Chain A
Amino acid sequence: MTAPMIELVDVSREYGSPPTRALDGVNLRVERGELVAIVGPSGSGKSTLLNLIGTLDRASAGQTRVAGYSVEKLSDRQLSALRAHSIGFVFQQFQLSEGVSARDNVAAGLLYTGKPARERRAVATEALERVGLGHRLLHRPAQMSGGERQRVAIARAMVRNPDLLLADEPTGSLDSRSGEIVVEILRELHASGTTVVVITHDRELAQRLPRRVGIRDGRIESDERDTVLAVSA
């Protein structure tokens, strides 16, 4: 049987000394092709959880498996390769380079896969068209609205066809209409087979996703699933 996309067994993460626990004995299993919201108030440990799932950070204790790989057993170089080929990130603050065009920002998503620049640009153009920004290829981030910028960031995460897309408060800096479009794009990605994990403090947003994992004070508090998949409105 195929391995789950994400499997955390008794995972803890401590910072500093004396250690404070950001995550405390978390168990979580996300199958391939799921669309999951991890929801909790600020300080609940959800960003720490995202960093562990995204292999940007290592757990202090417990086992973390992502896309079938044991994170503890991989070197930093191997984890980088895993991110380069299998994991896409979308951040609340977009994290776009100001000095370059939307297309080059998206093409940067393929920079560390070793693809030649011409190919990267072609794929980037395609991805921008998919998020409805085919007419904004050469615009700079400063010339775009927040919603458009977040769509550029999603396009950047999409170009690698990642197995797993991690979105950290993707609608946090957006007005509700732009947020709506972003959620719609995430749904489409999910529909095309990508495992999508959305981290949010917004319960309303979480309610619209088929699975909601509640987190508080570093512990999983709830895990709800819609029995019938909601048909997108």
Chain B
Amino acid sequence: MSALPKSRLRTGDLFALGLHGVRVHPMRAALSALGIAIGIAAMIAVIGISTSSQAAVREKLAALGTNLLTMSAGKDLLGADTKLPPDAGTRVLRIDGVETSGWTTEIDYHVYRNDLTLPGETGGLRVRVAGGDLLATTGTALASGRWFNAETEKHDLVVLGAGAAEAMGITEPGNQVWLGGQYFTVLGILQPSLLTPELDSSALVGAGIAAERFGFDGSPTVLYERSSEERVPEVRDLLPATINPEAPNEVSVSRPSDALAAKNTVDQAFTGLLIGVGSIALLVGGIGVANTMVITVLERRREIGLRRSLGATRANIRNQFLMEAVLLALLGGLVGAGTGFAVTAIVAASNGWKLEVPVSVLIAGVLATVAVGAVAGVLPALRAARTSPAVALSS
């Protein structure tokens, strides 16, 4: 008895067989791949939008620097509000590495559009006295008008934060606002300040006029300083004792860039939730593919019988249907990845972000669909392989 030659199916032919179902029932294939496409699109869009926005924040932080430290007066042992010493702004410059400093003091007056506004309608706006090199230190730019100089800080002039100007409907300098019982003329309007958002809702006045009209004693409530990037940790340690040697523990120091980073962490939690939703869509999509494959195997029993009569082994039949499930899922995965990428591109473009979708995420997404397809196809494919050829042909 001569040795029996083996049944053999070429890999390329297996691939072509796998596409058979997609070719014969394109509508069914599209619908069952749709679930997977939606799942992958959602996941890639969520990750893409999140990484793109984080990249945008990182870029901004890099431009603004992470070397800004903020000191504010804390509470004393009895819980009463304290103040920083009046010379804190110049003292801080003595620390090695500190380049600029600026300060604000919140005073108990309010700003209104005009004298007819009810006193209660403050709009959450604060009046602050500004001093030192505040704009350079906090990285805030002027949108229009000018900043105080040694002369203008003595006059009844005000510089509005971006939010304050918007709230009062003021778009250019020269307008007047009602502040502390008299009209102040707007000298300048600031751009939004990313690192020090408290300036946005502020109406800033000079120290000279504040001392004259509002009894300002020269003590800052918040002090800003910027040092060289590598000196930040040392400066941070030296700050409390330098500013307030008598009560260093009453000074609290913070780093605004940390707050921005923390906000990103919150975004990540949200991202996690959306990815979870995407995974569920993917799972449901996988079930859709499995369902389609079960029907396909039932419908194509005659074909299975014929292929067995032509010499297909059980493994050949199993691989054919497994391949079909994987290709079906892969089709959904590719469409979904493309859609997710497109959505990310649109969102990034409309927000002015640079598009950033990690290639590893795209690859992982497509590989995930292949895995889902393989898992979804296993049972139907095994069932197809187990079908008795004699029974299949007579069905």
User: Taking beta carbons and an 8 Å cutoff, which residues of A are in contact with B?
Assistant: 47, 51, 54, 56-57, 68-69, 74, 76-78, 80-85, 87, 89, 91, 95, 97, 99, 108-109, 111-114, 116-117, 156
Determine the distance from Cα of A159 to Cα of B8 in the docked complex, in whole angstroms.
16
The interface residues of chain A lying within 8 Å CB-to-CB of B8 are 112-114
Q: How far is the CB of A194 from chain B (nearest CB, A)?
A: 16
B316 A85 Cβ-Cβ under 8 A: no
Checking B5, B12, B302, B315 against A95 with a beta-carbon cut-off of 8 angstroms, the contacting residue is B302
How many residues on the B side are at the interface (Cβ–Cβ under 8 A)?
Answer: 32
- Among candidates B5, B306, B389, B390, residue contacting A81 with C-beta atoms closer than 8 Å: B5
Docked-complex contact A57 and B316, CB < 8 angstroms:
no
Contact of B303 among A57, A91, A97, A114 (CB under 8 A): A97
In the bound complex, how far is the Cα of B390 from the Cα of A89, in angstroms? Answer: 12
B306 and A95 contact, CB distance less than 8 A: yes
The reply to whether the CB of B388 lies closer than 8 angstroms to some CB of chain A is yes
Please give, as numbers and ranges, the residues of chain A lying within 8 Å of B316 by CB-CB distance.
80, 112
Is the Cβ of B313 less than 8 Å from the Cβ of A80? yes
Tell me the complex Cα distance, A56–B302, Å.
13
Q: Which residue of A lies closest to B1 (CB)?
A: A68
Residues A112 and B312 in contact, CB atoms below 8 Å apart: yes
Interface centre among B7, B8, B24, B313 (most CB of A within 10 A): B7
In addition to A113-B8, A116-B10, A117-B10, 11 A-B residue pairs with Cβ atoms within 8 Å of each other are: A51-B390, A81-B6, A81-B7, A81-B311, A81-B313, A87-B309, A97-B303, A112-B7, A112-B8, A112-B310, A114-B9
Tell me whether B4 is interfacial, beta carbon within 8 Å. Answer: yes
Report the Cα distance A83→B213, complex, angstroms.
106
B residues in contact with A91, CB < 8 Å: 306, 393
Q: In the complex, what residues of A have CB within 8 A of residue B24's CB?
A: 99
Q: When the two chains form their complex, are residues A84 and B310 in contact, meaning their CB atoms are under 8 A apart?
A: yes
Q: List 24 A-B contacts (CB under 8 A).
A: A51-B393, A56-B388, A56-B390, A57-B389, A69-B4, A74-B4, A76-B313, A77-B314, A78-B4, A80-B311, A80-B314, A81-B311, A81-B313, A83-B308, A84-B5, A84-B310, A95-B306, A111-B311, A111-B312, A112-B8, A112-B307, A112-B310, A114-B8, A117-B10
List the B side residues contacting A84 at CB < 8 Å: 5, 7, 310-312
